Structure 1
Amino acid sequence: MGTTLAEKVWADHLVRRGENGAPDLLYIDLMLMHEVTSPQAFEGLRLAGRKPRHIDQLIATEDHNTPTANIDRPNPDKTSALQLQTLERNCKEFGVRLHGLGDADQGIVHAFAPILGLTQPGMTIVCGDSHTSTHGAFGALAFGIGTSEVEHVMATQTLSLKPFKTMAINVDGELPAGVTSKDIILAIIAKIGTGGGQGHVLEYRGEAIRKLSMEARMTMCNMSIEGGARAGMIAPDETTFEYLKGRPHAPEGEMWDQALEYWKTLKTDDDAVFDRTVNLNASDLAPVVTWGTNPGQGLPITANVPVPQEIPDANARASATSAIEYMGLTPGMPIKDIAVDTVFIGSCTNGRIEDLRTAAKIMKGHHKAKSIHRVLVVPASSRVRLQAEQEGLDKIFTDFGAEWRNAGCSMCLGMNADKMVPGERSISTSNRNFEGRQGKGARTHLSSPIVAAATAIRGTISSLEDL
């Protein structure tokens, strides 16, 4: 019997197979680090008198706590400043490469690595951050780990894990105009639920997936964790190879040829068996927007907010009732009638150059609605910011009335100065809409950059058709 893509990568990194129910020991090719989940790991090494096993397979950046404005001035938040200073001190002491504020290669941890060509097919990649699944878009087995595991990888370059289950997500057909990879993944999460992928590696397959750009694929894999999965993967193909070729850390010459030969073997065998299979027809999809307080509470933009009394399942009914109350919505109201205060375009989900180009194309020649308090456009990395400015996108955004910021996690998680106030409502291209995620009492609707840009023009949740 054949093997799946995830099983092949796992087997290629197996150091020791566990016996009698014990976990396997896997070799880790690359660990990414940031200021939030690394301090305890560094301290653990320090107390044990250890040094990292392979310095050249660790790389750090500053992203979660970083200000996205006035980065040349002292950080006004003492806690954030301390975390950033601690990372800088730790990286200097242990010799770990760091891309800090002001560095051209600084950015959100899941965004800067692919741009540099550090993320490659067939690798095992970990980080103390759940959205590490982003890198699975390249055919890498990538997932988030805990702080104690970060220390273990630093010390040994290995990780103890029990094998994951596998799930095939087949998306065939042609995407309608105005429907993006963000809509595909929101539709998948709505279908399987926020716990539907628990313990699984999701492999996205099918005609619609093969036609996606690398950046769109990263959006898909990024949000795999929101469906409860450990990781998401897409088999590498010519789109992948074209994206990687010529990047700073990509193989060159004969090494490129050898790598390419191996990368082309990274696909699920025809006779492989998945533990579970889910099918979607891309042509049936529409722009999806979340109405509730988790990424699984999403509906087509043309739908209405659910009426809890009409939901047969008691748990789902209670969840909807609570979410609608927190979000300040009226059951049964059209999603397109929801007015927002803030628009956030950015994050490791949708802050890449392709996303910014899409938003700029829609915003060009318009100005934000008078009812919109602010529009934040935050590139996912400094390289993206520089490229956007070279293309003149920053001027389109500022002419529109948006704030053009420096790279960072920004309003995605409210761990920095970019926060919302209680009761404020946003349309956001980020990945989570949990209660208080963007600030205490803040209300978040997730969408694609297309919907976010259209909403910024009209003031209420909108699609391209509404312009």
Structure 2
Amino acid sequence: MSKTLFDKIWDAHVVTSSEGFPDVLYIDTQFIHEVTSPQAFDGLRKAGRKVLRPKQTVATADHNVPTWDQHLPIKEELSRYQVDMLGKNCKEFGIEFYGLGHPYQGIVHIIGPELGITRPGGTYVCGDSHTSTHGAFGAIAFGIGTSQVEQVLATQCLLQSRPKRMKIEVNGKLQFGVGAKDIILYIISQITAAGGTGYAVEYAGDTIRSLSMEGRMTICNMSIEMGARCGLIAPDETTFNYVKGREFAPKGEEWDKALAYWKTLYSDEDAQFDKVLSFKAEDIEPMITYGTNPGMGIGVTQHVPNTHDIDATEQLSYANSLKYMGLHDDQSMLGKEIDYVFIGSCTNARIEDLRQVANFLKGRKKADNVTVWVVPGSKQVEQQAIAEGLDKIFQAAGIPLREPGCSACLAMNEDKIPAGKYCVSTSNRNFEGRQGPNSRTFLASPLTAAAAAVTGKITDVRELLKEEELV
């Protein structure tokens, strides 16, 4: 019987299945951090339970950590308490903890792949929406609630209902200056922030296959922003080459055995999906959001939609969104002055993202009116960036390289965008107050963010790249 990639992995992990009930799904690895795990550990204590398989739990501090002076005690009391508690909980329950100062510390969805923990065919969960990132390896990965975090710690299993399956194909050649972040922002703008609700989404097509692993992770990372349960991409040579040789990847005969299985992980040619969508790469230009959810995005040369063109049932919330953002109908986004640029988060803080931004910044300086934060996604990314001299390029542009953490993605730490200020951000959410109370966020790619950093306004990066080509 023909199967989708999702069904092949799901079926291989079902422990028990009963008609009318959720499946009992085995989880290969659970990632935990300081925000959604404390109550789960408390639940274990109250019930007198242990962590069933501590070696299949990966813990790191990321959401609350400062991105300056990580060798000093955390200043914010709640942040310090949560990070300290995670360390104590891990020690008590026998879980290795990649805390501040550890060479493997970093954003949870960046360290899993770079350490070779995330692999094709696996099941991965975390008390964090953007766990879908790991699906880029041809895996099932999704966010869970705190009670479910406890459930997996205690049993290494999870009660889950099988979602519907959707395939999104993107084919063709991308325009110059357009990347993975633009692809996913474009898709979400076309199907809305609720367009994937109830689905596991497989991304396919020659445009997707042409992406690096970093680009694929960016795509899958934002699956949740269209309401999807998870996103995944069939593994191929790009995947295998990325995983091979990493710290916790299989070695020797184990590698050969794993690789043979991974090569079977693809949707059969006649596999049935509940929904199939197709997009042309040529239609995608550098994207920018203008509203307060990731579906409110347009090409950077386009204008803000007119309220009267929006569905009547959504016009009031749409108008409120524009009011919050200080924008108006039919406004051009080009030339809109901004105050901050944030390059980081689990969406775009990998070494490839930093390389791309550094290459663009060579010979350029940030605009005087803009504060720019470049935050690597992990200690390994930070050290690699320093080894390659990227920190010196950033410094020459007037931008210091900070230390790893979630930073201004969600402002649960010291990095907050002030009220009323505009930030072009490479993160994944532009909700009201997401980057700080009453802050205003424009989501964009690393290149578009870098262009805003040097011009002080929303800019079509292709124009700057054309100038660069002519030099």
TM-score w.r.t. length of structure 2: 0.97
Query: Take 1:464 and 1:312, find their aligned partners in 2: how far apart are those partners?
Result: 29
Amino acid at match of 1:93: E
Residues 428-443 of structure 1 mapped to structure 2, 5 A cutoff? 428-443=425-440
Tell whether the 8 Å contact from 1:450 to 1:463 is kept in structure 2 after alignment: no
Tell whether the 8 Å contact from 2:163 to 2:200 is kept in structure 1 after alignment: yes
Query: Take 1:465 and 1:266, find their aligned partners in 2: how far apart are those partners?
Result: 37
The residue aligned with 1:327 is 325
> Alpha-carbon deviation of 1:312?
4.5
SS at 2:25 equivalent: strand
The residue aligned with 1:423 is 420
> Alpha-carbon deviation of 1:129?
0.4
> Alpha-carbon deviation of 1:433?
0.2
Gaps of 5+ in 2: 465-471
Query: Take 1:17 and 1:173, find their aligned partners in 2: how far apart are those partners?
Result: 41
Residues 305-316 of structure 1 mapped to structure 2, 5 A cutoff? 305-309=304-308, 311-316=309-314
Tell whether the 8 Å contact from 2:286 to 2:299 is kept in structure 1 after alignment: yes
Residues 270-419 of structure 1 mapped to structure 2, 5 A cutoff? 270-309=269-308, 311-372=309-370, 374-419=371-416
Query: Take 2:310 and 2:96, find their aligned partners in 1: how far apart are those partners?
Result: 54
Tell whether the 8 Å contact from 1:189 to 1:295 is kept in structure 2 after alignment: yes
Query: Take 1:218 and 1:465, find their aligned partners in 2: how far apart are those partners?
Result: 24
Residues 18-33 of structure 1 mapped to structure 2, 5 A cutoff? 18-19=18-19, 21-33=20-32
SS at 1:333 equivalent: coil
Does 2:136 align with 1:133? Answer: no
Query: Take 2:280 and 2:329, find their aligned partners in 1: how far apart are those partners?
Result: 28
Tell whether the 8 Å contact from 2:64 to 2:79 is kept in structure 1 after alignment: yes
Cα separation, partners in 2 of 1:160 and 1:292, compared to 1, 3 Å: same
> Alpha-carbon deviation of 1:18?
2.1
Tell whether the 8 Å contact from 2:408 to 2:435 is kept in structure 1 after alignment: yes
Tell whether the 8 Å contact from 1:209 to 1:217 is kept in structure 2 after alignment: yes
Gaps of 5+ in 1: none
Query: Take 2:245 and 2:71, find their aligned partners in 1: how far apart are those partners?
Result: 32
Amino acid at match of 2:379: S
Does 2:68 align with 1:69? Answer: yes
Amino acid at match of 1:316: E
The residue aligned with 1:85 is 84
Query: Take 1:380 and 1:138, find their aligned partners in 2: how far apart are those partners?
Result: 18
Tell whether the 8 Å contact from 2:13 to 2:27 is kept in structure 1 after alignment: yes
Amino acid at match of 2:338: V
Query: Take 2:275 and 2:317, find their aligned partners in 1: how far apart are those partners?
Result: 26
The residue aligned with 1:12 is 12
The residue aligned with 1:45 is 44
Query: Take 2:453 and 2:399, find their aligned partners in 1: how far apart are those partners?
Result: 9
1:210-236 CA deviation, whole Å, 9 max, x = no partner?
Answer: 000000000000000000001000000
SS at 2:165 equivalent: strand
Tell whether the 8 Å contact from 2:21 to 2:161 is kept in structure 1 after alignment: yes
Alignment RMSD, CA only? 0.8
Amino acid at match of 2:381: V
SS at 2:24 equivalent: strand
Amino acid at match of 2:11: A
1:174-217 CA deviation, whole Å, 9 max, x = no partner?
Answer: 11110001001001111111111111100000000000000000
Query: Take 1:151 and 1:187, find their aligned partners in 2: how far apart are those partners?
Result: 36
The residue aligned with 2:180 is 181
Query: Take 1:188 and 1:247, find their aligned partners in 2: how far apart are those partners?
Result: 32
1:76-95 CA deviation, whole Å, 9 max, x = no partner?
Answer: 10000000110010001101
TM-score w.r.t. length of structure 1: 0.98
1:54-77 CA deviation, whole Å, 9 max, x = no partner?
Answer: 111001000000000011122110
Query: Take 2:422 and 2:463, find their aligned partners in 1: how far apart are those partners?
Result: 20
* Range 317-326 or range 21-30, more displaced: 317-326
Q: Kindly, what percent of the aligned residue pairs are identical?
A: 55
SS at 1:117 equivalent: coil
Tell whether the 8 Å contact from 1:152 to 1:158 is kept in structure 2 after alignment: yes
Tell whether the 8 Å contact from 1:105 to 1:383 is kept in structure 2 after alignment: yes
Amino acid at match of 1:329: L
SS at 1:347 equivalent: coil
Query: Take 2:134 and 2:415, find their aligned partners in 1: how far apart are those partners?
Result: 26
* Range 331-340 or range 427-436, more displaced: 331-340
The residue aligned with 2:467 is none
* Range 312-321 or range 211-220, more displaced: 312-321
Query: Take 1:415 and 1:234, find their aligned partners in 2: how far apart are those partners?
Result: 31
Tell whether the 8 Å contact from 1:18 to 1:25 is kept in structure 2 after alignment: no
Tell whether the 8 Å contact from 2:301 to 2:460 is kept in structure 1 after alignment: no
Does 2:143 align with 1:144? Answer: yes
> Alpha-carbon deviation of 1:396?
0.9
1:13-35 CA deviation, whole Å, 9 max, x = no partner?
Answer: 0100122x111101100000000
Query: Take 1:174 and 1:60, find their aligned partners in 2: how far apart are those partners?
Result: 39
Amino acid at match of 2:9: V
Amino acid at match of 1:435: E
1:244-287 CA deviation, whole Å, 9 max, x = no partner?
Answer: 11001111111111101100000000111100011100011101
SS at 1:76 equivalent: coil
Query: Take 1:429 and 1:179, find their aligned partners in 2: how far apart are those partners?
Result: 14
Tell whether the 8 Å contact from 2:127 to 2:149 is kept in structure 1 after alignment: yes
Tell whether the 8 Å contact from 1:306 to 1:320 is kept in structure 2 after alignment: no
Query: Take 1:197 and 1:386, find their aligned partners in 2: how far apart are those partners?
Result: 37
> Alpha-carbon deviation of 1:168?
0.2
SS at 1:303 equivalent: coil
Amino acid at match of 2:67: T
Kindly tell me the number of residue pairs found equivalent between the two proteins.
Answer: 464
Residues 200-215 of structure 1 mapped to structure 2, 5 A cutoff? 200-215=199-214
Query: Take 1:47 and 1:369, find their aligned partners in 2: how far apart are those partners?
Result: 54
* Range 112-121 or range 187-196, more displaced: 187-196
